[in-house]
Amino acid sequence: MAVGSVSKAAEAASRSEKVPEFGVFINGRWVKSSSRDWIETRAPATGRLLARFANGNREDVVKAVAAAEAAFPKWSATPAPIRGEILLRAAQILRARKAELGHLVSEEMGKALREGSGDVQEAIDFFEYIAGEGRRMLGETTPCELPNKIAMTFRRPMGVVGCITPWNFPVAIPSWKIGAALISGCTIVFKPASITPLCAARLVEVLAEAGVPPGVLNMVTGPGSSVGSEIASNPKIRAVSFTGGTSAGRDVYMRAAALLKPVELELGGKNPQIVMDDADIELAIEGALWGAFGTAGQRCTATSRLIVHEKVYATVMKRLIERTKKLRLGDPTDPKVDVGPVSSDEQLKTVMGYIEVGKREASLVCGGSRATGPGLDKGFFIEPTIFETKHGTRISKEEIFGPVLAVIKVNDFEEAVAVANDVEYGLSSSIYTRDVNRAFRAIEQLDVGITYINAPTIGAEVHLPFGGTKNTGNGGREAGTSAIDEFTEIKTVFVDYSGTLQRAQIDVD
C-alpha cells in the first residue's frame, strides 16, 4: 500500500484516473485541507488506486476541534434516546449497504470477503447495541446517612473527544469508538488510519446521512506525527480513545498526560491457544487456522502462539501443516479465497523480517516466503507460515501481526499456563480441553482480558467488554457494558429536602 505524500509529478500523472478525492470532513461537509499534500489509498492485493485524501495537519485538527466545540452544547442536550435513534438509523443504512461496504473493506484493507462483510456486520451490531444505552445510561441511588436526603449519580459527557483508529478493522473499530462517544453526548475529532481512509469516509457519510448534526463528528486524515499529536495535545479535546501499535499508543498517552487528559489504549497482543491432551484435535486445528491466518494474522487478537501438550503434539502438527497448505491465497474479494494480502509494503517487510528471524532461531515447517504466482505478483502476499520453536525466542514473544504461527510443546497444564502468561501482552487466550475443572483453572490463571474455552482467540462480541492487561493497554475496556465509561464523567448529586442545615459526618448530641 503506497501511503504518504504524493509528488507533484505522480499526482499529475495519476489524476487522469477517475478516482474520488476527499478533503477533511469538518462541520458536516468535505472541505479543503490546509495542507496541499495528498494520501493515496490502494488495494493491497492489486495495487489499484482507490481514492485520494488530504494529508491533513495540525491546522485541520484545530478547525475540527472548533466545529466540535461549537456543536457540543446542543448535541449533549439532545436526549440520549434521540441520539440512540440516530445510531439505529445508521445501523439500518449499513445493513442495506453491507455487501457494498464489505467489498470495500476487503479491497482496501485486504481481508477475505466474508471477513470484510463481518467487519461491517460488527458495526451494525454495535450501533444497534449501543443505541439501547440511550435508554439506560445507568447511575446509582444509595441511602443517605441523614434523614430527608437522597443521593444519586448520573453520567455527563466528557466534551470534545479524539478517536484514533487502526487499519485492520476499518469500519468496526471506528464504530465502537464513535458509537459510544455519540450516545454519551460527546462530539468527536476522528483520525482514521492512513491505509484505510476510504472505509472511514464511507462510515462518516453513513452517520451524517443518519442524522448526526454538523460539527458533531469530524474526520481529519493524516500522519500521527501531526494529526495524531495534535489530537493528543490539544487542550480542548477532553479525552482520547486510541487503538493501534504500542509505540504510537505510548506517545499519545504521554502527550495527553501532560494535560491530565484521560486516554484509553488498546494495543498489541501475543495471544496463545493451548491444546491439551484431552482436546478435540480437529476442532482445535480449525480454531488455530482461523485464529492464526484469518485477516492474514492482522488482528490484535490473532492466535500467534499454539501451545500443545506433548502427548498430542505430533498429531496436531501433522494435521495443522496439512490443513495450512490447503489454504487458498488470492484477491480477497474472491469468495473462494481464504487468506488475502497483508495491508501494505511496510507491513510485508516487517513480517518478512520476523520470518527471517524465525528461520535463524527456530524450525520452519510450513510457508516462510512471499507468495508469488498468478494473481499474487502485484500484491503483498505472504505464505501462511508455521514455526516449531521453544518458548523465549523472539517469534514466540514479540507481536508479528502477520500470518505467522509459533508452535510450542509443553509437558502439562501448569507449563502451558506459565508459557502463555510469560509475554508482555495480555489481550486474548484460548484453551481446548474436555476437562471442565481444567477449563475453569485456565479462566482463573491466564493473565489476559479475554479467555475462550474450546474456541479460537478471535471472535469478540460487541455486547461484552473488550481489552486486556499488561502492555495490551492501560486497563480500560471498549464495547459492552463498559463502552461509555471512557466518554462520560460520573456526577454525584445530593438532594436535601429537610429544610434544615444537616451536617454529614458531624456528631450530633
The residues that are catalytic are 266, 300
* Alpha helices (H) in 97-131, listed in sequence order: 98-109, 113-131
Contacts with 204 (C-beta within 8 Å, 6 or more apart), sequence order:
25, 190, 217, 219
Contacts with 22 (C-beta within 8 Å, 6 or more apart), sequence order:
30, 51, 52, 53, 54, 197, 201, 221
| Distance (Å, whole) CA 332 – CA 283 | 25
Q: What is the crossing angle of helices 172-184 and 80-96, to 10°? A: 160
Beta bridge partners of 428: 450
Exposed (0-12), middle (13-18) or buried (19+): which is 146, by Cβ within 10 Å? Answer: middle
Query: For 334, phi and psi rounded to 5 degrees?
Result: -85, 120
Query: For 197, phi and psi rounded to 5 degrees?
Result: -75, -25
Angle at CA of residue 466, ends 461 and 472, nearest 5°: 140
Q: Which of 25, 299, 342 is nearest to 166 (CA)?
A: 299
Instruction: Report strand pairing: 21-22 vs 49-54.
Output: parallel
Contact 350, 117 (CB under 8 A): no
- Would the CA dihedral through 497, 502, 507, 509 be positive or negative? negative
**Cβ–Cβ contacts within 10 Å for residue 350, how many?**
15
| Distance (Å, whole) CA 163 – CA 490 | 21
Q: Which amino acid is at 282?
A: E
DSSP string, 310-355: TTTHHHHHHHHHHHHHTPPBS-TTSTT-SB---S-HHHHHHHHHHH
Q: What is the crossing angle of helices 80-96 and 197-210, to 10°? A: 120
Query: What are 251's three cell numbers?
Result: 506517545
Q: Which of 72, 126, 217, 78 is nearest to 484 (CA)?
A: 126
Instruction: Report strand pairing: 303-309 vs 49-54.
Output: unpaired
Query: What are 261's three cell numbers?
Result: 487528559
Query: What are 5's three cell numbers?
Result: 505524500
DSSP string, 359-427: HHHSEEEE--SB--STTTTTS--B--EEEE--TTSHHHHS---SSEEEEEEESSHHHHHHHHH-SSEES
